[in-house]
Amino acid sequence: MASAAEQEAVSEHAPERAGPPVWPGAPTPLGARCRVGPAGVAGTNFALWAGGAEAVELCLFAADGTERRLPLTELTHEIWHGFVPGIGAGQRYGFRVHGRWDPWTGARWNPAKLLLDPYARAVDGDYGRLGLPPEVYGHVRDWPQQHVADTVRDERDSAPYVPKGVVVQDDDDWSDDRRPKTPWQDSVIYELHVKGFTRLHPGVPEHLRGTYAGLAHPAAVEHLAGLGVTAVELLPVHQFAHEDHLLRRGLRNHWGYNSIGYFAPHAGYSSSGTAGQQVGEFKRMVRALHAAGIEVILDVVYNHTAEAGELGPTLSLKGIDNRGYYRLQSDARRYADYTGCGNTLHVVQPQVLRLITDSLRYWVTEMGVDGFRFDLAAALARSMHDVDMLSPFLAVIAQDPVLRRVKLIAEPWDVGNGGYQVGAFPPLWTEWNDRYRDAVRDFWRGALPDVRDLGYRLSGSSDLYAWGGRRPYASVNFVTAHDGFTLRDLVTYERKHNEANGEGNRDGTHDNRSWNCGVEGETDDPGINALRLRQQRNLLTTLLLSTGVPMLVAGDEMGRTQGGNNNAYCQDNETGWVDWTLPDAPGRAQLLALTRRLLALRHRHPVLRRRAFFSGRPQGADGLRDLAWFTAEGAEMTEPDWYAPTATLGLYLSGRDIPGRDERGTQITDDSFLAVLHAGARPLDFHLPGPPWAETYELVVDTAREDQSAAPGTLHPGGGTLTVGARSTVLLRVRA
């Protein structure tokens, strides 16, 4: 039974059906758009696709919560539409959709539930703080005594408990913005969380921390620009909802992979707290980053929504046309779940494909973003059931004049059968390369049986991407990501420690491929801490010297820790936020300096960011290869060497054999480099290749040293011996 407070809230939101007239309006564009109507009358056009619905009501909300319901009587190609004079920016609204209730056939219409416009460009309100109330479910949630009956329709009004869409004025001009347009081969991606990156930043004013404005603040931008990254990849900023099970445990969804509004910047990251202001604030953030030469890539979640499965809430698409928007099983009461989140959007359906592509174009053309990373992209590429690289989604993206020009990154898997598709996405796409992650982690923890796989990963993964005209930058190389251990935790923990998530440490992967250097967790042992810092330097150096597009995770350059939590999706606290005091800790400032040094080196030398794959064949009269591999004895590796157990690998990158020309047509040339990766537990005497490879080598980086400032300049003769420290990486430049 509803409490007195709940009954009062419902009474305050009692509908008033009298209100402004509704003119016919237009079926396009979908959503709410301010415009000048007939006879010069200003107002807002509302349009909602609701296939199979019997009626649609537009619900307008006053500041005191009073609701006015206006029937939309115009229907064009399953789009209900109408123009309401006098309605402008700031108006809060939603829809009620009438139709059959028959969950056995997938029909879940329920006009008692206020629905968020899928095209709402701003959202006001939240879905609850201590748990979702039963009113937000289309089915009976507490019948009887907290039991669930998902086939029984709930007749209680959800309007007092759910957020509303907000009408936004189209008044922005992007003519003063200059997109960086960084070529793929020159890109370095920095994955960050809008709130987590700035929440503790001492240089960002308190009232701006954790917001779009905070990320746009000079203190935040200066760190990114000074580091040398070319793009930020923002964890989801689409409006998202918190799961009921988290709210009841006093937690919140921190990462945001629970989208409910594909056009709206998440309101929780706005500094103003005023409905609709988050749109302008997001745009100003994009401009500030562009001015610093930094692109903005969004991590987008079009594979599922926050409405979960048949036991989830009714917030938007489920109540508009459940069968039209979601993949259902043969038993249409149940949802097909290729995402592990309860539902999967049915991207084969034209209206779903339109929703996604309209959203993508909106963020490019009206919000200024430069690209997208698609969460569980294999789910989007499924036709009926199987992953299909000729699917409608991939075909539409390939021919779209806006979307085919921006950066497109696939997370090339989902949780369904046949969902692992690394290397299979078509040209135009780059991919998160988890095979790179696994090989590099295994090498440095001493778990690779041989170096065959590592060789492919360091040189651009040609075994995965050298087809269809794809280039080495099809591989987004990473050692860590938001999902999993941080770089510091990777060398500190061998087991996950997710107890704070409240799931009995059952959540998160068991396959961490980590090594704790002998002690689980933090320690005061100076020897172990020195080794852990060296391992972090090794992993960062390997990543930033590899061919492909490197991706760093915010805070890894300073040794950020999550205390061994490898699934901190619900840790909206110090666990999930970047600690800006880290550079003051022993060894952390040097780690940050090394990251900056390596990125500057990468930007200066095209041999480290090639546009084409290595051939491995002799070039020129002296027979030097553009890429050569060496054993510790200084001999070129033979076929048996690739199969032999070893902890050492040398690779020679020739700068005089770089395919391609600069903008004036001049052949690109560069220095040549020799890198030595040694994961052995003891120092090693490495025999440096002599002429014709090099007469002399100059030391550039040595991860055995905590401070790299003294490393450069040391010369070593070709044909001589270089002592490489235990578990360390050495980079040398060919001088002659």
Catalytic residues: 375, 411
Question: What gap in Å lies between CA 26 and CA 651, rounded to an integer?
Answer: 63
Q: Say what the alpha-carbon torsion angle 494, 500, 504, 505 is, to the nearest 10 degrees.
A: -20
Question: What gap in Å lies between CA 408 and CA 415, rounded to an integer?
Answer: 21
- Residue 254 has, within 13 A of its CA and on its CB side, a CA count of 23
How far from chain centre, in Å, is Cα 649? 32
Question: What gap in Å lies between CA 343 and CA 335, rounded to an integer?
Answer: 6
Question: What gap in Å lies between CA 389 and CA 424, rounded to an integer?
Answer: 8
Closest by Cα among 695, 707, 705 to 733: 695
Q: Treating both helix axes as pointing N-terminal to C-terminal, what angle do 392-399 and 350-365 enclose, rounded to 10 degrees?
A: 30
Question: What gap in Å lies between CA 319 and CA 302, rounded to an integer?
Answer: 18
Instruction: Please give the structure tokens belonging to residue 36.
Output: 């000048």
User: Is-contact 677 728, C-beta < 8 A?
Assistant: no
H or E stretch at 494: none
Question: What gap in Å lies between CA 660 and CA 84, rounded to an integer?
Answer: 58
In angstroms, how far apart are the furthest CA atoms of the chain?
91
Question: What gap in Å lies between CA 519 and CA 225, rounded to an integer?
Answer: 36
Q: Treating both helix axes as pointing N-terminal to C-terminal, what angle do 434-444 and 526-545 enclose, rounded to 10 degrees?
A: 140
Residue 522: Cβ-neighbour burial (10 angstroms; 0-12, 13-18, 19+)? middle
Instruction: Please give the structure tokens belonging to residue 22.
Output: 């509704």
**What DSSP assignment string belongs to 551-569?**
EEETTGGGT---TT-S-GG
Question: What gap in Å lies between CA 394 and CA 673, rounded to an integer?
Answer: 39
The total of other beta-carbon atoms located within 10 Å of residue 41's CB is 12
- Alpha-carbon distance values, 495 to 70, 434, 514 (Å): 57, 19, 8
430 in helix, strand or coil?
Answer: strand
